[in-house]
A and B are shown apart, each in its own frame.
Chain A
């Protein structure tokens, strides 16, 4: 296994507060790593720092290349994609256009031709990705017309359409019902099995524990535990910091066929 995304000693400070401190993280190709932790643990900040949206110290390596000094769009073009908690779609565009603008830069020749002919060069990949997450029928809807669950799926599709090397998913299942969440988990697993490296932040413990290969637990900006899902379920520090008394219930639920997913 080669490392797709490697984070070394990543720290983020807001004034005197260290939101993320000295985090190391390794994502291999075809590996799905879950990142969990209580509210305010620094999960989203870690993704922001990793993708260049927050000033940070430390190193981020994408397929061996140091991208720590690059702008967000440059990191994206090199193959680091992300989704947003609130989906953050391009509201003025249709679903297909949301994906189309995410397929990377186009040469000026293409742009000139598009302006003159009025036809946008589409990419086969866009339709494949849309079908891959089950959004095919909604391709020509405006982003603002979709339900919350559909919006999250568009966000996921948009992150995947550029064939990234690594993806950071920020709560893709928030706002989805149990069935949708389960479906999403299966789909994400499928993309990972095809060779993608994925970092998954979510509060749906059922989802995280069932699909991830490896789980990292963050609290107060520090990694307090990491291991396989079964390690994490029983890890005393995790139970204390995050799962607390609810741990037993969560563990039970995640093994049940219709897991409710802890809130």
Chain B
């Protein structure tokens, strides 16, 4: 019994982090209506800045060309000044994000703001990987520095930092509550979040309120990151992904109550610690002799789902005038000709490219299918989902198991795998049935994390070691990456496998284009534009969403099967959450509402064709690419929501309209935006 208590108390450390991140989320939401996914990454940033100052006395600098990585500040710093500077850096990041990004997005939909914060998260994580590598390190302690700093509770020694930290978080929550309750600033923020335009008329400045709230939120997140890093460990994902339980806590608090979010956050930390304790017990379910992993993440997901239902599945609506959330989804006039041309170009490229580019191209083609699945669910129906790569992972593991345990191979296995992925996708969609837009993003993020830790990391399924995937054989022919082929057969992957991928991707692309042109596609767009009006004309909104989710999951599943063949084995590292978030960024960058955008997104992904070209020709490491992708996601949402596909097609249209006239002034206008598309083409040979 006393052991249970001990673990419960130890969990207060993580609980304080979750509660602190929850406070930051609430602040950001009340100030600017942003469901801020980046607060965890900000906490991580604070911890890294502190780490550098405390251990080496150097200050991290942003990755700008010709700016050194770090500035030396003369030897290791003391704890207090290092802490202060690290928190300031976080606060400054918050100010920058608010002024540069959120201010411009004030009238935009909650979805756009959430995706912008996702961009920030991807950027900060990539930055951390770039500077510190992806492996963890132990962080310097802040609160307790020796074994003497502990408290004896029921005969067990508990480090006192847990108590101090819990006290600090509760203190912060109390101060915030008092400030919001009794000061003019708090009143103004509440007024502005009730009704932004009326608050403006009353002489309040929502911009300033948003700035102050975000700076506060980022500072709180950063401080908690510094405190908690020594208890977890310092790596680019652990603290950053603590945003998932923090979101669950914020959901319970209706994104408004500081008290509830703190209590729920602390409780979630205790829960996680108790799971750790119970997993050491003999009765705890095991897999391959080890306690099954990911139970905590599964619980987080369940808590999110419960919170959604408990809160009536609805964020409190802020009184802002909302714009339409997504750019228009253009419909292709012709499908067969462009599809055939794309397939021909793809196959020709496979035959002539050297093997490293060929591998990159295969990666891109499969990634394009994942982007297609995002186009259907995000672009056509307006439901923000980040689970797609996770569903691909499900299919990948299914292909592996079917081959190893049931002797089922190509082409039946990918079909079964896609069906299983569809089932998994529908299960998640149903648990989020009353949920839309921003909330779905939260549910799918929690689901993706649970999938990664509970399913993929399970040693009996995949784990770190991975599971083997035999080559696809069809009618005695090897279609896999190691197949022999008369042309360009030097080293894998074989063009045969590439051609298989290209054919599948092009067919699926044409299918998605067909869906957009069909009545079903129109109903999807109707649901995207206006759910209540759709219901009023007899459209079953829930069914349309489920159908879209099913189609999207099946596409992701097929992509996952191809990935499995491509890798030759599947492991948890192939389908991790940061990569999944990166995919959303790339899909947006390419153009989230069009089929062409999905293919461009595929070219852009890490280890895809563009990344390979930049790496080989300019020597830019892959990690820079994710960093740029995060920033580019933010820029896309702010300036060019149609993505690259949109600017290219606008340019083409402008040319075809203006060039035949022969008018020189028109020509100038037409070619100016054209420079845009030429840059894109230059990257991809």
Chain A residues within CB distance 8 Å of chain B: 51-53, 71-73, 76-77, 81-82, 84, 88-93, 97-98, 100-102, 104-106, 110-111, 114-121, 142, 158-159, 162
Contacts and interface: CB of A to CB of B under 8 A. Distances in A.
B349 to A, nearest CB: 27
B528 A76 contact: no
A115 B324 CA distance: 26
A76 B536 contact: yes
A51 B536 contact: yes
Given A111-B519, A114-B519, A72 B536 contact: yes
Contacts of A102: 537-539
B436 to A, nearest CB: 15
A61 to B, nearest CB: 19
B525 A93 contact: yes
A76 B533 contact: no
Nearest to A119: B517
Contacts of A100: 519, 522
Chain B CB within 10 Å, residue with most, of A84, A101, A115, A119: A101
Contacts of A92: 324, 328-329, 525-526, 528-529
A91 B539 CA distance: 16
Contacts of B526: 90, 92-93, 98, 101
Top 7 A-B pairs ranked by shortest CB distance? A114-B518, A102-B537, A76-B538, A115-B514, A88-B533, A72-B535, A90-B529
Contacts of A89: 529-530, 533
Contacts of A84: 533, 536
Chain B CB within 10 Å, residue with most, of A53, A88, A104: A88
8 contacts: A51-B536, A72-B536, A73-B534, A73-B539, A76-B538, A104-B538, A105-B538, A162-B538
A101 B525 CA distance: 10
A81 B536 contact: yes
B519 A121 contact: yes
A83 B235 CA distance: 55
Contacts, number: 106
B596 to A, nearest CB: 16
Nearest to A168: B536
B286 interface: no
Contact of A91 (B335, B522, B529, B540): B529
Interface of B: 324, 328-329, 335, 511, 513-515, 517-520, 522-523, 525-526, 528-530, 532-541
Given A91-B529, A92-B528, A116-B514, A110 B519 contact: yes
A144 B514 CA distance: 24
A120 B529 contact: no
A98 B537 CA distance: 10
A144 to B, nearest CB: 8
B530 A101 contact: no
B522 A120 contact: yes
B136 to A, nearest CB: 46
A232 to B, nearest CB: 29
A226 B515 CA distance: 50
B389 to A, nearest CB: 25
Given A89-B529, A100-B519, 20 more contacts: A53-B535, A73-B535, A76-B536, A88-B530, A93-B525, A93-B529, A97-B522, A101-B522, A101-B537, A101-B539, A102-B538, A105-B538, A114-B520, A115-B511, A115-B517, A115-B518, A115-B520, A118-B335, A119-B517, A158-B537
A23 B519 CA distance: 39
B324 A77 contact: no
A174 to B, nearest CB: 17
A81 B539 CA distance: 12
A198 to B, nearest CB: 15
Given A115-B511, A118-B335, A106 B519 contact: yes
B515 A115 contact: yes
B532 A88 contact: yes
Contacts of A105: 538, 540
Given A73-B541, A105-B540, A115-B511, A90 B535 contact: no
